Amino acid sequence: MSRHRVLQAGRLMPELEASLAEQFDCHALWNEKDPRRFLAEQGAGFQALVTTSKNGADAALMDAMPNLKAITHFGVGYDTVDAAAAAKRGIALSNTPDVLNDCVADVAMGLLIDAARGLSASDRFVRRGDWLKGQFPLTTRVSGKKLGIAGLGRIGQAIAKRAQGFDMHIRYHSRKPVANVAFTHEPSLAALARWCDFLVVIVSGGPATRHLVSAEVIEALGPQGYLVNVSRGSVVDEAALVDALVHRRIAGAGLDVFEDEPRVPQALLALDNVVLLPHLASGTRETRKAMADLVLANLHSWFDHGRLVTPVPAAPPA
């Protein structure tokens, strides 16, 4: 009995690659010297595609696979997949929601505390031998402060739950109020930034949210405010943020994502008022295994039952 053919757009964690090879007739597109030629010759043979945020799936890739029926995305954010093109073709799309909520929320709080209390900066202070010369500067308290959350979805609510343990006062911004939450909804992100001490960004990426955290929002945070971004680098006007950090118009930032990863703006590297992470918020063994299991579950469900376990809402066709 022949196995279902699956195309793997790019590298995945070794355990997932091994499972895909064992359970499906899986071909690694990233291993082809001429992917376009390969797709022109064999693209019609694949009904499913596995991809990631790094590789995505544009309309051209979908067009090269005329029998493509399902895209399984390793990750919760699928902004690098042309969801409208998939909807136009009737291609089902899944992601891996919920399984990474806790780990991303943990990192968001870690970045917030590190940026405010200068943990990474003080570690460098000790390692340089500067403690022998004097005391590390005083920092900012976290407990009891005002937290603004841009995006109160699953992860945003997990962040809020953790912040409540620090007795923080919480408000949030989203396109519309979220049902069944007690926090105050702020229709204006700039107004939320003016109100809060810490602004945590956890919205979806893509054109609709590009530079949502604009120069105006960054300025609204003010010289005592902190920005934490665990969503997508595209959501923040990075040039405006760098300028505000360099000139101390905001107090600091904690960043897990950047506009042109893995390239980080050179100006940030020498600053002690910003914590820089290599997009690792969901990067735990437990979470990545759960994400891998969900990718496999989506593929099996599609081939066996014609439906996905975790389908994303269909985008309006372009």
Residue 173 DSSP code: E
Q: At what angle do helices 14-23 and 285-305 cross, to 10 degrees?
A: 20
Residues 6+ apart with CB under 8 A from 316: 84, 87
Has 210 been annotated as catalytic? no
- Of the candidates 219, 249, 261, 300, the residue annotated as catalytic is 261
User: Is-contact 27 49, C-beta < 8 A?
Assistant: no
Q: Is 300 one of the catalytic residues?
A: no
Question: Which residues, at least 6 apart from 259, have a Cβ–Cβ distance to it below 8 Å?
Answer: 233, 234, 236, 238
Concatenating the DSSP letter of every residue in 137-167 gives PP----TT-EEEEE--SHHHHHHHHHHHTTT
Point out the catalytic residue in the list 232, 238, 259, 288. 232
What is the SS3 assignment for 116? Answer: helix
DSSP strand pairing (146-150 vs 92-94): unpaired
What is the distance of C-alpha 317 from the center of its chain?
Answer: 24
Q: Which of 89, 117, 279, 300 is catalytic?
A: 279
Question: Which class for 14: exposed (0-12), middle (13-18), buried (19 or more C-beta within 10 A)?
Answer: exposed
249 is catalytic: no
Residue 155 tokens read as 């992860």
Which residues neighbour 213 within 8 Å (Cβ) at sequence distance 6 or greater? 150, 189, 199, 201, 227, 229, 235, 236, 237, 241
Residues taking part in catalysis: 232, 261, 279
